[in-house]
Chains A and B, each alone.
Chain A
């Protein structure tokens, strides 16, 4: 069995670690590219959301590299994600790609169903081994998140342009290559060292922007046209509302790792604007926007795929939040036609506006 899975940012680092610890052969799809997207949009439904198309492209490309099994998460609505696998399977079948699907559906009652599926993958491995694999993958996810957080902080302050990104890639590689718990500890230290070595200027004035929105477009840089990198280059410190380990916890462990993420707080902060969950991360988008606005961020950016239902609900309500708190916001809707140049222009105008406002505010208060 040669297992593949959809890309979502650095998710592959975590998943690869889990499968390899279990002794399952893994085919990591080539990173998302124009080709991935054009394959996905050619064969996928026209109005499907972007992640479905990119995932479909991932599967086709992994199939070309010899994968025969897809492992992915499922869901029980109300959002489309819960039906991705079935649609993709139907499309791939018609295309003649013989891929078997193993879908990790959220157990409606018990976690055991998930474990049975995992056992199916793991074959004769013991439960102990399975749990070790999950822990190992999860630890990698948390380390990746940590590196990302550091990168977000240093990017707007780096003295040599591009040095953060170089260090970031190196650090991720180290984490990715560590094949055992001990090696990972060593890699962790080394990665931290590398990230700390990036020369930064902490006296520099930076604008703070909170990024909210749909999880895939937040986590997969290809799908948001490298939004975070562009913002960093413009001297903006980005705070992102969702991280990989949060997703892994939520979708693969079904919230077993307690105390993770800020989902609950975000949801309660969304009241009175959005009083009910709307699927996906729509309610978190509003809640996190409120929290960013309250803690004095200069601006808020919402990103989501074209036709994404929960985020459209959030988009309808976001203007109220921003008006009440007097923060500026910007919305990016991603699909196969969104251009990077246009996005950068809008980002420049937005950061200019925020910088001027910030200066005016500081002039007044000093």
Chain B
């Protein structure tokens, strides 16, 4: 029987799931994904996480517990750094230690992913994990190459404007004709950590709602990393959070796009990086006169309130667009 490796549907699952899954499957393991986020999953997490940690980490606790009893191992790497000279967040650094203490969970694959000093250091992690399954170095290497290929394909799909859920579906069904979303009149940039905006439970399906309300949604993931990086480098000092940098760069880039009608910033309550990048983004958006909405999510956020604010925001955006159109007409 193949070894069952559990992957929590949380945090950087939204970036690396195709890569991780391919890697483990190539090594002959069976990959089990935790259930989609629900109130129940979160409630389990809340029982064990301290009040102060942010919602996505609380939810991760829940996802790990969801896998307990279903798998032999849980893949919960310590994501120290996924890019040279950058970090993700102190909570990612301490995640395996916060989780390991939970009773009744299977052993963790808590390998250090640390590219802080050099991007090549990833090989260490690949070897370390691979060795749990095989001693054949060639096989490990091959598995890694294949998983990278899938990863690249996934990111290309994201850059085409697909949301992670859609891109994952495309990868799964091997659909050749990747459908592009129909363009709408209003385009809204949704800026937030991927695990906050792409988890429909956490975000209260904000993407779906915006689309239903008639808006195109673009996120930081729709932009090639390079572009985001070069825009983010306009800041006086390089941001040392990979995700923060990407959100910042995307926000700066989108703010200059003439077809952008509004920007929504989604932060987790008490999130450290968001409190800093959010501040910079908001200041920039306000100076540029871009309609801006800031949403803060925690386990007490009420859905009704969020919907009302979204609707009001979109009304404001379309009102402003109508105003601009009027102004152009009257001046011509």
Contact = CB atoms under 8 A, between A and B. Distances in A.
Interface of A: 45-49, 74, 76-80, 82-83, 85-87, 89-91, 94, 108, 273-280, 282, 306-310, 312-317, 320, 333
B267 to A, nearest CB: 7
A312 B52 contact: yes
A77 B52 contact: no
Nearest to A273: B97
Contacts of A307: 52, 270-272, 275
B272 A313 contact: no
B314 interface: no
Contacts of B53: 312, 316
Interface stretch (B25-33, B85-93, B182-190, B194-202): B85-93
Nearest to A83: B276
B147 interface: no
B49 interface: yes
A87 B90 contact: no
B233 to A, nearest CB: 13
With a 10 A CB-CB cut-off, give which of A45, A78, A108, A320 has the most chain B CB atoms: A78
A309 B49 contact: no
Given A47-B272, A76-B85, A78-B87, 20 more contacts: A45-B278, A47-B274, A47-B275, A47-B296, A76-B240, A77-B240, A78-B90, A80-B272, A83-B239, A87-B280, A90-B279, A91-B283, A94-B283, A108-B85, A279-B93, A307-B272, A308-B272, A310-B90, A313-B97, A315-B50
Nearest to A274: B97
With a 10 A CB-CB cut-off, give which of A79, A85, A276 has the most chain B CB atoms: A276
B98 A317 contact: yes
A90 B235 CA distance: 11
B193 to A, nearest CB: 14
Nearest to A310: B90
Please classify how large the interface on chain B is, using the bins under 10, 10 to 19, 20 to 34, 35 or more.
Answer: 35 or more
Contacts of B272: 47, 49, 79-80, 307-309
Contacts of A46: 275
A272 to B, nearest CB: 9
B147 to A, nearest CB: 25
B101 A320 contact: yes
Nearest to B86: A77
B32 to A, nearest CB: 26
B289 interface: no
B84 to A, nearest CB: 12
Interface in B99-157: 101, 112
A78 B93 contact: yes
Nearest to B287: A94
A309 B50 contact: no
B112 A276 contact: yes
7 contacts: A49-B272, A76-B85, A78-B241, A86-B280, A108-B85, A313-B90, A316-B101
B80 interface: yes
A82 to B, nearest CB: 6
A45 B50 contact: no
B226 interface: no
Contacts of B276: 45, 48, 80, 83, 87
B16 interface: no
A313 B95 CA distance: 8
A86 B235 contact: yes
B93 A277 contact: yes
Contacts of A310: 90, 94
A315 B94 CA distance: 11
Contacts of B326: none
Contacts of A45: 275-276, 278-279
Contact of B273 (A80, A275, A306, A308): A80
A48 B275 contact: yes
A77 B273 CA distance: 10
Interface string B233-247: 001110111000000
Contact of B89 (A78, A90, A306): A78
A276 B50 CA distance: 19
B196 to A, nearest CB: 14
With a 10 A CB-CB cut-off, give which of A94, A277, A307 has the most chain B CB atoms: A307
B28 to A, nearest CB: 29
Contacts of A89: 236
Interface string B39-70: 00000000001101100000000000000000
B78 interface: yes
A276 B94 CA distance: 7
A63 to B, nearest CB: 19
A312 B275 contact: no
B87 A77 contact: yes
Contacts of B49: 316
B313 interface: no
Contacts of B274: 47
A79 B283 CA distance: 22
A277 B90 CA distance: 9
B279 A48 contact: yes
Contacts of A48: 275-276, 279
Contacts of A320: 101
A2 B240 CA distance: 31
A101 to B, nearest CB: 9
B90 A309 contact: yes
B240 A275 contact: no
A274 B98 CA distance: 8
A4 B271 CA distance: 30
Nearest to B98: A316
Contact of B91 (A82, A90, A312, A317): A312
Contacts of B231: none
With a 10 A CB-CB cut-off, give which of A77, A278, A282 has the most chain B CB atoms: A77
B89 A312 contact: no
B14 interface: no
B253 interface: no
